[in-house]
Structure 1
Amino acid sequence: MTAGEADSLAVWCRVRQRVRWAEAAGAEDIASPVAPRVDGFLAWCEGPVRRRDPERAERLRSAYALARADAAQGVSLTFAVLARWQRVVLGVAGAPFRTGVAYAKGGRERYGLTPHTESDFARCLRDSADPTVPLAARAARVYLDVAFFHPFDDGNARAALLALTFVLAREGVVLGQVGPIPITRYPDDPDGAADLATLVAVLASAGRRKSRIPTGSNIKS
């Protein structure tokens, strides 16, 4: 099997087990709420996304509103929930789980499909609520899960970022910026996975310093 034929999803599933998520450097629990003056996701939509495609930005804003509403209601993260957001992201009537092998990065990464892929993905999504893992690590991990399971035919990077923001928002945390998150990630990079957890924690800490909510407030965002 050549590098181009390797199953990047299988690689990620092995790497995922190797990362010490509970000890990821800098991924200590984030004390909620974190409500920065600027919602980083919306700022990202209004900045680079809108400059690229205004209609895309509007759809993404609408999907984010759905995700925030679901978070406020304490909804569990499932594929059905992701698919509901994804229909809005893509402006389509349906967003089913992919039915074949998927590719990314110009075909350099291949994500396999087995009879267990969808159930494995469901289990990974349930892990996003595991209280034994720090919030920043859970958010980073679900971002990578969505990216490398690649459940949709299109828009998986946007789905991954929505999932990350949802996991944080469900516990009252909003990031003041998200631009550093959606850069190229690799399934065979455990250090990079841990670094993403650290980055989420750093961004949350920066948002707390710029928060519109006084320290010690019990107001939820």
Structure 2
Amino acid sequence: MTDHLRRWCETREQVPWHDVRHGRGWPRSPVQARRDGVTHRITTVEHGREPLRAQRLLAAYEQMRADATADKALDFELLARWQRNILGVARAPFRSGPAFAKRGRERYGLDTDTPARLEVCLAGSRDPALPVASRAARAYLDVCFFHPFADGNARSALLALAFVLAKADIVLDQVGPLAQLQRPVDDPEAAKRMADLVVTLIENTQRRFEASSTSHCRYAPREL
């Protein structure tokens, strides 16, 4: 049976992460937003689907923001702290067996070194040689494909992406497009498109903030 986690680990090394462009001014200067896109997504889309789930995710996001401000390092312990809020549980251990996603079409194996390999991958989110958009997108995909928890991995992946950006003083004003992009496990160009999308979201946030500041009018970008 195919181990799609192994496929991702092979694909991950083939992605041209360095080719993703840096944006104008960032990450040397903050990217401000007229609204926090993650908070907006949680309080609108997520709340509309399931209020309790949204309440827990918002608590996890607030914890994530505090951890970013405190300059914490992204690792499994940090993910597990957020995950306890996401799921409303006392413990969030690494999964104890294979995981499945996409209605069972993908299987992520579990070996004795899987948790350690995830730690190495997450440590790469601090690599200053890579554009921040690449680091954020890669952390998102790492969490998706390592699938460390029994449940809530997509939510954890979004927090990981937002955390990497927050550490660079970047806040997105919308995150809906991230949920719409396909995430094939064995396509390096698709992974790069994820990073390119993060660049686009950052630049759009920056452009809209500057436009609204210049015109002195309130602006609320439409969630996709």
TM over 0.5: yes
Q: How does 1:210-221 map to 2 (within 5 A)?
A: 210-211=208-209
CA distance in 2, matches of 1:167, 1:120: 19
Alpha-carbon distance, 1:162 to partner: 0.3
> Quick one: distance in 1 between partners of 2:169 and 2:209?
12
1:72-221 matched pairs, under 5 angstroms: 72-183=69-180, 184-211=182-209
1:68-112 CA-to-partner distances (Å, cap 9, x unmatched) read 011011100010000000000000111000110000111100000
Residue identity matched to 2:122: L
CA distance in 2, matches of 1:78, 1:108: 27
CA deviation after TM superposition for structure 1 residue 134, in Å: 0.2
Q: Any gaps of 5 or more consecutive residues in structure 1? A: 216-221
On the 8 A contact 1:136/1:198 being kept in 2, the answer is yes
Could you tell me whether the CA contact under 8 Å between 1:95 and 1:152 is conserved in 2?
A: yes
Equivalent position SS for 1:127: helix
For 1:119 and 1:49, locate their aligned partners in 2 and report how far apart those are by CA, in whole Å: 32
Q: Percent identity?
A: 50
Q: In the TM superposition, what are the counterparts of 1:23-38 in structure 2 within 5 Å?
A: 23-24=19-20, 27-29=21-23, 30-31=26-27, 32-38=29-35
Q: Which has the higher contact order (CA 8 A, sep 6+)?
A: 1
Displacement, 1:185? 1.2
Deviation at 1:214, TM superposition (A): 7.0
Count of residues paired in the alignment: 209
Query: What amino acid does structure 2 have at the position aligned with 1:95?
Result: A
Q: TM-score, normalised by structure 2?
A: 0.90
Two-structure CA RMSD over aligned residues (Å): 1.5
Question: Is 1:9 the counterpart of 2:5 in the alignment?
Answer: yes
For residue 44 of structure 2, the aligned residue among 44, 47, 58 is 47
In the alignment, structure 2 segments of 5+ residues that lack a partner are 215-224
Q: 2:122 and 2:150 mapped to 1: Cα distance?
A: 18
Q: Which moved more, 1:30-39 or 1:190-199?
A: 30-39
Larger deviation, residues 76-85 vs 182-191 = 182-191
Q: Distance in 1 between matches of 2:51 and 2:127?
A: 36
> What is the SS of the residue equivalent to 2:129?
coil
Per-residue Cα deviation, 1:103-146 (whole angstroms, up to 9, x for no partner) = 01111000001111000000000000000000000000000000
Cα pair 1:41 1:178 within 8 Å, conserved = yes
C-alpha distance after superposition, 1:42-86 (max 9, x if no partner): 110012101100111111111000000110111000100000000
